[in-house]
Amino acid sequence: MEPPSTRSPDLMRVKVAAARLGVHVRTLYRVIAQGELSLVHVRGCSCIAENDLVNYIKRNTQMRKA
């Protein structure tokens, strides 16, 4: 196993990320267009790093609590 600093991020397809958030894929693309999440392209597949999605969820959960 690689050390954590050199490991590549766990990626998920946009469709999976949208399902995890409970939103439509188009809604997730709007979030990406607004710069709140970034895409990683792998051989024509649009993916989102799992860490980025988790951080996005945390940021938006904290906003709603405040």
CA distance 62 to 59: 5
Residue 4 maps to a domain: no
Instruction: Give the pLDDT confidence score for residue 51 in this predicted structure.
Output: 94
Instruction: Give the pLDDT confidence score for residue 8 in this predicted structure.
Output: 60
Residue 52 maps to a domain: yes
Residue 32 structural domain = 11-65
Residue 26 maps to a domain: yes
Residue 45 maps to a domain: yes
CATH number, domain with residue 51:
1.10.1660
Is there a contact between 12 and 50 (Cβ–Cβ < 8 Å)? yes
Q: What pLDDT tens digit does each residue of the chain (66 aa) get?
A: 555 555 567 999 999 999 999 999 999 999 999 999 999 998 999 999 999 999 999 998 865 555
Instruction: Give the pLDDT confidence score for residue 19 in this predicted structure.
Output: 96
**CA atoms within 13 A of residue 4's CA, in its CB half-sphere:** 0
> How many domains, in total, are found in the chain?
1
Question: CA nearest 20: which of 56, 45, 44, 46?
Answer: 56
Instruction: Give the pLDDT confidence score for residue 61 in this predicted structure.
Output: 86
Instruction: Give the pLDDT confidence score for residue 47 in this predicted structure.
Output: 95
Q: Name 18's Cβ contacts closer than 8 Å, sequence gap at least 6.
A: 24, 25, 27, 28
